[in-house]
Structure 1
Amino acid sequence: MKIIFSSLFIFFVLINFAYAQNIVEINVEGNVRIDKPTILSVVKEKTNTPLNLEAVNEDIKNIYNLGFFETVSAKIKNVAGGVILTFDVKEKSAIRFVKFEGNKMFKDEELYKVCKVKEYQILSKKNLQESVAAIIGFYASKGIYLTNVSYKLEPVVGNRVDVVFQIREGKKTFIHKINIIGNHHIKTSEIFDVMKNHEKYGPYILTFLPWFYTGKLYPQDIDADIQAIRDLYLSKGYADVKVNGPTINIEPDTGYIDIDISIDEGSKYTLKNLKFEHIEPFTLKELENIVKLKVNKTFNGVQLRKDIENLTTAYADKGYAFCDINPIVTLDRQNHTVDVTFDINKGNKVYIHRIEITGNDKTWDNVIRREIRLDQGSLYSESKIKESRQKIYNTDFFDDVKISTEKIPGKDEVNMKVNVKEKMTGMLSLGVGYSSYYKVGVMGSVTQRNLFGSGIYGKLYANLSANSHLFDVSFVNPWVDNRPISVGLDLYNMMYYGWDYDQKTYGFKFTVAKRFYDDQLSVGASYSLSQNKINITAGTPSYYLLQEEGTTTESTITPFIKWNSLDNNIFPTIGTLFSSSLGLTGFGGNTRYIKWDNTVEYFHPIFWSMIGHLKGSVGFAKGIGGKGVPLQDRYFLGGIDNLRGFDYGTVSPTDKYGNYIGGTRYAYAQAETIFPLVEALKLYGEAFFDIGNSWLYSYDFGNLKKDVGVGIKWISPLGPIRVEVGKNLAPKNGEKSYVFQFSMGALF
């Protein structure tokens, strides 16, 4: 249907008109839905004032610009005492319903969401055209091209219309072939590796894995692919490479997409000379160490960009916030050499004038400010700004952290603006479980990582069943008096009623630690005091259980040291985590032993957006003065934190009755790869291998448990969630072949 839109029409009827006559009345005619006050609100002519034709013309334009009318005109009528000014309008149609025809792949509701036209709106040609484009774009985003969309208008009573979008759906498409033309010095497979668009490869059900591809065309990534190919050549010395295209052909019958990319490689260049101008306050040697480009080596255009960034950061860390690095690149096409000169215009040193914090509706200002590595009045530093952002983000109190700077006109100062978006830091967890022994169990916890916005961590935990109960209350203040000193207090009470013995334990633990080296190093100690009572009730207890009968008091001092260089505490991708502690039990209690535990973890990106994670842990416990190590303080491995192919606590020495009695030595190692499944949802997959064991008296590395498995890690709005399935590689009597593990609250 062809729609004709009327343009602005101005018509004056002048009857016995006298220019200087007063306006005695202003009327509106033709309006149905739009009331008179709305129209007159933009009219500048007023009653009891002389008529002004130029003003009337402006009023007509103002009424038309309201967007409600197809035409606007004005009439003037002479009456006794002056004139009556009447604005005559013709309203645009209103939209009653928005309908869709021909859409089989997507529901009406999905298409309506992307449309610019909405029900009850005034009809607009611009919105209609934008809606057509939006629907076509929506189909394209789902891999469906060659979709045709038109619209028709169906008039209904009351100057209203129904808008009907008529859709002829295209065919679901995928990339069938990518043709790289002109690449003589770089393999096609190497070019494919840097591209985001790929030919279809592998079964669709496995395309979430990084080495399988759906073949879906991502139009928004085409330009990025061209740049990635160009960067690949630049990194290998082809300084004048040209990447042309792409040419995209879609076969309507099959849905095949063929992409042609043409490359003019040019020549390979060597860096001949590297110079710096205006280098103060650095020395030439210092700048040469910052820059990775090397004379007489293959010229790397990508590294040139990185070197500019590194130089800019180096000067910014000296306070030169607005340093401009201008690279002068001279190509000698005859000899295939390159000369590079870095012309440095550092400007003046810049200082922080004021630090402004916004967006923290709950969190106290000082909780954020103490993580910032700059103070008001301090010299500007780009690295410290980046570090501050990461430190604030690592508190896990915020979904997003943005830091920007605003130059103060006429001064060598900037305002540092920190904007945060608060996240939910409290969590209520309830659960119900059942086992043949414990019967029905109820567990629950209330956790607040940012108590009252103070940055203090608090948790209440309870686990109740017919045969046991556990209560635990803990608090941690990571900053005492806004200094990098943390204190923590943990109170607990546990009761267990077994078929052969009862156990009651209660106590507390107090911890204090100080952080150094930008919070990467932590040194501290904890003191714990607990009382444990075991009462044998029936059966034939083992020798080890008999040793535990009675009441024991443990008084323990545990000095420890920790190192944390992870880039992100919630989901690390690079860095090292190390901890070592030495527990000394026997200060005032009747139990005496030492316990030494060591753990190290390493994260590093590998390939295909995958992260490698290695973890190792080793420890031992030894009684002092003829005393043994209490049962509850021995090593029981198995579970989601160490050997994931075994149930919790089942990797342990046993007595002759098959009871787990715990080891005094343990060691285990883990190797895993982590890869994105749905990165936008922070959903990741993993494959892992674990090895280790717990021994009664001495290490026996010829006797090790092994497992492999897969899992999912999800950084959900409620907190990190892990789901893992481990396979025992050599099950023994009573051991399961597969074990399902679940954890919520911590990924690593």
Structure 2
Amino acid sequence: MLQKYIITFAIVFVFFLSLDSNKPLNAQGSEAVSAVVKKIEFKGNDRISSSTIKAAIKTNHGDIYDPKAISQDVDAIWLLGFFDNIEVEVESYEDGVKVIFLVLERPVIKNIFFAGNGQVKTKKLREAIQVREGDYLKRYLIKLDEDKIREMYQKMGFSHIVIKSEEKKSNGYVDITYKIREGSKVYIKEIVFEGNKTFSSKRLTKIMDTKKRKFPSLVFPGKFDKAEFEGDIDNIKAFYGSGGWLDTDIKWKERYSPDKTKMFLYVVIDEGDRYHVDTVNIKGNKLFTSEEIMGMLQLKKGSAFLPELLQKDSKGIRMAYGRQGHLNADVRANYSYKQVEPKIDITFDIIENERFFIEKVIVSGNDKTKDNVIRRNLSFFPGERLDTQKIKGSEQRLAGTGYFDNQSGKASEISYVPGTEYNTKNVIVDVKEGRTGMMRFGGGFGANAGLFGDVSYTDKNFDIFDFPKDLRDFMSGNAFRGGGHTITLRFSPGLQRTEGMFSYSNPAVFDSGYSLGLSTNIFRRAREDYDEERKGAKVSVGKTVLRGLRLGVTPNFEVIGVQNIDSNAPLVVKDIEGSNKKLSLELSAMLDRRDSRMFPTKGYKITSSLVFSGLDVDIIKFSVQGKKHTTVFNFSDWRGKHVLSYGGTLGVIEATSDQGVPIFERFFAGGANSIRGFAFRGVGPVDVTSSEQVGGKVLLLASAEYTLPVYGDMVRGAFFVDAGKADTDLNDLNINNIRATIGFGFRAKVPFMGNSVVAVDFGFPFIRKDSDDEQAVTFNFGGGR
């Protein structure tokens, strides 16, 4: 900008100087204003043609001379990027003036050299810089390239890197040499905190992305990135501020070992005083009393002032008003500091606004799903006050049905429009239909199931009463749709196991809270000493009584065949050869509050069942299983969550007649979802004569697993400890005969297989018995678990 003003001043100065020395041009002094440009010349340009420069300027022959226009022309020539300097001379010429543009061409870069780069290849440096051979020299790009090279070295740990560029000109060309003094590679030896009284150094270190070098150095190299470290300092300050230390001041300094290879970082913290709440005032509230609102707050008189809690309290008050129909309630949280002591006064200023009621509930977007299927998943009705919590819960419930499109955005969206009265709203429930029917061809391999194929069809939004009007209606997929029923047909042939199944379920019979399910199945399995075959049908009736809690009653009839028995099979197998009829009644309960069925990161699931059976199989069987998931860490640089999952299983079974418990109803342990490191059904009581596993009446399992991301949530690693047993009878309900393993594994999603999971586990028993069947690797693919 300064150069522009200098050039403009020079133009004006030269012009008036020429007028003074050429009296015939400006004899009267007034002709300077109307001087005509008679000629334009360009000097100093060797490679750049005059026509190229002429095309950039606006001044032409015959124009009235205007210093301002000449200045703009200089700017235009400058923007061409070909010149290092531009000057203008003005001379009298043929009763007018001649304008001469004097330019100094920038040299062309002929060669680019790098000197002193021992740790980084020249090819990599050439790729990093912006300037190229053949370009016109632009010195600001040279400086930017120096910074890029410096940053590259610093990320590699060369904190003492020095870079200087040199130019060598010759005949309009220039050679650029980047001279590099790499220095020694530096790693962070120690990070020392000073002045931190409230939080330990270990706690503060966890906040930082910058880490000192430690084993393994491949994972923790201890590289120093200044920008990242300054961000860490800001994070520590924010951490203190979130705890009420609002005046915390943090400085840092660095020191090096004598050989300049080790860096010591010192973080000096002045914590200051922690601020506490002195008074809490509520203004503008009419619907709730001040005492009621005080009861909603987490920040109270005398508690530490936490800005995050202040925001949560404001949101909590708004939600309380939203549940009462005050859709537009405004809650403003203000706070002020005391003059003398570290205390804060808080005021919640509330503007309640109007209470709204629901006039109509309008369903839209459902061209296939019936209105009643959507409405039965809503927890609000016309005539009642508008409750924002019910609205949000209904949105989540609609998304969880699986009827609507969750892949391309929101499956459902609930909005409001004004009703006919000033205090009413019409609630618009807008859904986006999704694909609910899916044909699947696949297969897999499971340590428990062997190699198997899978052909299945599932429709989650089936309607058994929606008959087609004609063949075209059926072929277009518009028939048997929209009732919210689920139908599944599956055939899964395998080398060890073959299964066929048909099931139908209605989650809300006549739009009630009761569900109904019907299913038939055939199952064949090659056991160690015999073949087992099951054929059966069952009816399931269930009801959801609380969020995530479902109760069920299931009558079941099966014919269980035991055949192809080996001659050395245990006596308990030979005693039940042939067909065994089983009529049972199962009472079940399931509480599922996980955030995901595929890879849960929080929540828990508990299932329990009590089965009574008769005819040829007289038993009573109880089992309960629970598993909890907790996110331990959520490191952004690892792009995923570290999750701890733990739980267990208890199962007991007893005969209700003298026939005893048949082997096909007994408990076995070992294998996937049991005790990894042992074979499927490889742990349990053993027949004395044949030394074969015969199962038990008691099952105890416990497991803890830590999973972490390897490649986001697509591939996760796992470390686990499994323990458990299957034992003889109820008197063995103790920790005797427990087996235990430790191991690791991997989990991977397979998107093209419907997000099936490949699971590989390596288990190593450290508590075992000689009679157990061990198997180090447990592999499952395509649902074989």
User: What residue in structure 1 maps to residue 560 of structure 2?
Assistant: 532
Counterpart of 2:692 (choices 659, 682, 697) is 659
The 3-state SS of whatever aligns with 2:494 is: strand
User: What residue in structure 1 maps to residue 302 of structure 2?
Assistant: 296
8 Å CA contact 1:327–1:340 kept in 2: the answer is yes
User: What residue in structure 2 maps to residue 637 of structure 1?
Assistant: 669
> What letter is aligned with 2:606?
F
Structure 2 residue 702 is matched with structure 1 residue 669:
yes
User: What residue in structure 2 maps to residue 326 of structure 1?
Assistant: 333
Give the Cα–Cα distance (whole angstroms) in 1 for the partners of residues 371 and 337 of structure 2. Answer: 51
Structure 2 residue 313 is matched with structure 1 residue 307:
yes
- Of 369-378 and 730-739, deviating more is 369-378
The 3-state SS of whatever aligns with 2:240 is: helix
Give the Cα–Cα distance (whole angstroms) in 2 for the partners of residues 169 and 404 of structure 1. Answer: 58
Counterpart of 2:620 (choices 562, 584, 594) is 594
More helix by share: 2
Give the Cα–Cα distance (whole angstroms) in 1 for the partners of residues 655 and 186 of structure 2. Answer: 70
> What letter is aligned with 2:208?
M
Deviations 1:467-486 (A, max 9, x none): x5512335465745777655
User: What residue in structure 1 maps to residue 213 of structure 2?
Assistant: 200
Deviations 1:404-445 (A, max 9, x none): 88897999979888899999987654347999xx9xx64122
> What letter is aligned with 1:344?
I
The 3-state SS of whatever aligns with 1:658 is: coil
User: What residue in structure 1 maps to residue 747 of structure 2?
Assistant: 714
User: What residue in structure 2 maps to residue 583 of structure 1?
Assistant: 611
After TM superposition, give the deviation of residue 615 of structure 1 in Å. 1.5
After TM superposition, give the deviation of residue 203 of structure 1 in Å. 1.5
Give the Cα–Cα distance (whole angstroms) in 1 for the partners of residues 586 and 144 of structure 2. Answer: 68
Q: Normalising to structure 1: TM-score of the pair? A: 0.67
User: What residue in structure 2 maps to residue 514 of structure 1?
Assistant: 543
Give the Cα–Cα distance (whole angstroms) in 1 for the partners of residues 715 and 152 of structure 2. Answer: 24
After TM superposition, give the deviation of residue 524 of structure 1 in Å. 1.6
8 Å CA contact 1:534–1:550 kept in 2: the answer is yes
Structure 2 residue 521 is matched with structure 1 residue 492:
yes
8 Å CA contact 2:395–2:413 kept in 1: the answer is no
8 Å CA contact 1:600–1:617 kept in 2: the answer is yes
Give the Cα–Cα distance (whole angstroms) in 1 for the partners of residues 706 and 288 of structure 2. Answer: 42
Deviations 1:578-618 (A, max 9, x none): 222122223xx533322222222233445686544331322
Deviations 1:83-121 (A, max 9, x none): xxxxxxxxxxxxxxxx99989879989998x99999xxx
> What letter is aligned with 1:704?
N
Deviations 1:187-222 (A, max 9, x none): 3333223333332333236x4xxxxx4535577865
The 3-state SS of whatever aligns with 1:464 is: coil
User: What residue in structure 1 maps to residue 471 of structure 2?
Assistant: none
Give the Cα–Cα distance (whole angstroms) in 2 for the partners of residues 231 and 350 of structure 1. Answer: 40
After TM superposition, give the deviation of residue 658 of structure 1 in Å. 1.2
Residue 747 to residue 494, structure 1, CA distance change in 2 (3 Å): closer
How many residue pairs get aligned? The number is 669
8 Å CA contact 2:644–2:705 kept in 1: the answer is yes
8 Å CA contact 2:447–2:779 kept in 1: the answer is no
Give the Cα–Cα distance (whole angstroms) in 2 for the partners of residues 610 and 699 of structure 1. Answer: 36
User: What residue in structure 1 maps to residue 654 of structure 2?
Assistant: 622
Residue 328 to residue 707, structure 1, CA distance change in 2 (3 Å): same
Identity, % of aligned pairs?
20
8 Å CA contact 2:604–2:627 kept in 1: the answer is yes
- Of 575-584 and 503-512, deviating more is 503-512
The 3-state SS of whatever aligns with 1:303 is: helix
Give the Cα–Cα distance (whole angstroms) in 1 for the partners of residues 146 and 362 of structure 2. Answer: 47
Structure 2 residue 204 is matched with structure 1 residue 191:
yes
The 3-state SS of whatever aligns with 2:575 is: helix
Structure 2 residue 583 is matched with structure 1 residue 555:
yes
The 3-state SS of whatever aligns with 2:302 is: coil
Alignment of 1:398-547 (within 5 A): 398=406, 428-431=441-444, 442-446=451-455, 456=486, 458=488, 460-465=490-495, 468-475=496-503, 477=505, 479-480=507-508, 487-488=516-517, 490-495=519-524, 501-518=530-547, 520-535=548-563, 539-547=567-575
Give the Cα–Cα distance (whole angstroms) in 2 for the partners of residues 702 and 362 of structure 1. Answer: 56
Question: Aligned Cα RMSD in Å?
Answer: 6.4
Residue 598 to residue 507, structure 1, CA distance change in 2 (3 Å): same
- Of 628-637 and 716-725, deviating more is 716-725
> What letter is aligned with 1:528?
N
Residue 546 to residue 740, structure 1, CA distance change in 2 (3 Å): same
The 3-state SS of whatever aligns with 1:729 is: strand
Structure 2 residue 422 is matched with structure 1 residue 392:
no
User: What residue in structure 1 maps to residue 768 of structure 2?
Assistant: 731
Residue 659 to residue 200, structure 1, CA distance change in 2 (3 Å): same
8 Å CA contact 2:544–2:550 kept in 1: the answer is yes
After TM superposition, give the deviation of residue 286 of structure 1 in Å. 2.9
8 Å CA contact 2:337–2:345 kept in 1: the answer is yes
Give the Cα–Cα distance (whole angstroms) in 2 for the partners of residues 134 and 351 of structure 1. Answer: 62
User: What residue in structure 2 maps to residue 648 of structure 1?
Assistant: 680
After TM superposition, give the deviation of residue 328 of structure 1 in Å. 1.8
After TM superposition, give the deviation of residue 281 of structure 1 in Å. 2.7
The 3-state SS of whatever aligns with 1:548 is: coil
Residue 674 to residue 186, structure 1, CA distance change in 2 (3 Å): same
The 3-state SS of whatever aligns with 2:732 is: coil
Give the Cα–Cα distance (whole angstroms) in 1 for the partners of residues 628 and 221 of structure 2. Answer: 32
- Of 400-409 and 614-623, deviating more is 400-409
Give the Cα–Cα distance (whole angstroms) in 1 for the partners of residues 574 and 299 of structure 2. Answer: 71
> What letter is aligned with 1:561?
A
Residue 386 to residue 550, structure 1, CA distance change in 2 (3 Å): closer
> What letter is aligned with 2:762?
V
User: What residue in structure 1 maps to residue 169 of structure 2?
Assistant: none
User: What residue in structure 2 maps to residue 242 of structure 1?
Assistant: 248
Deviations 1:438-459 (A, max 9, x none): 9xx6412246676699784746
Give the Cα–Cα distance (whole angstroms) in 1 for the partners of residues 722 and 642 of structure 2. Answer: 16
Alignment of 1:247-286 (within 5 A): 259-286=265-292
User: What residue in structure 1 maps to residue 343 of structure 2?
Assistant: 337
Residue 346 to residue 738, structure 1, CA distance change in 2 (3 Å): farther
User: What residue in structure 2 maps to residue 379 of structure 1?
Assistant: 386
- Of 565-574 and 377-386, deviating more is 377-386
- Of 362-371 and 296-305, deviating more is 362-371
Residue 449 to residue 562, structure 1, CA distance change in 2 (3 Å): same
User: What residue in structure 1 maps to residue 33 of structure 2?
Assistant: none
The 3-state SS of whatever aligns with 1:281 is: coil
Give the Cα–Cα distance (whole angstroms) in 2 for the partners of residues 485 and 539 of structure 1. Answer: 50
The 3-state SS of whatever aligns with 2:686 is: coil
After TM superposition, give the deviation of residue 522 of structure 1 in Å. 0.7
Residue 536 to residue 688, structure 1, CA distance change in 2 (3 Å): closer
Give the Cα–Cα distance (whole angstroms) in 2 for the partners of residues 305 and 135 of structure 1. Answer: 44
> What letter is aligned with 1:549?
E
8 Å CA contact 2:164–2:180 kept in 1: the answer is yes
8 Å CA contact 1:677–1:685 kept in 2: the answer is no
User: What residue in structure 1 maps to residue 720 of structure 2?
Assistant: 687
The 3-state SS of whatever aligns with 2:562 is: strand
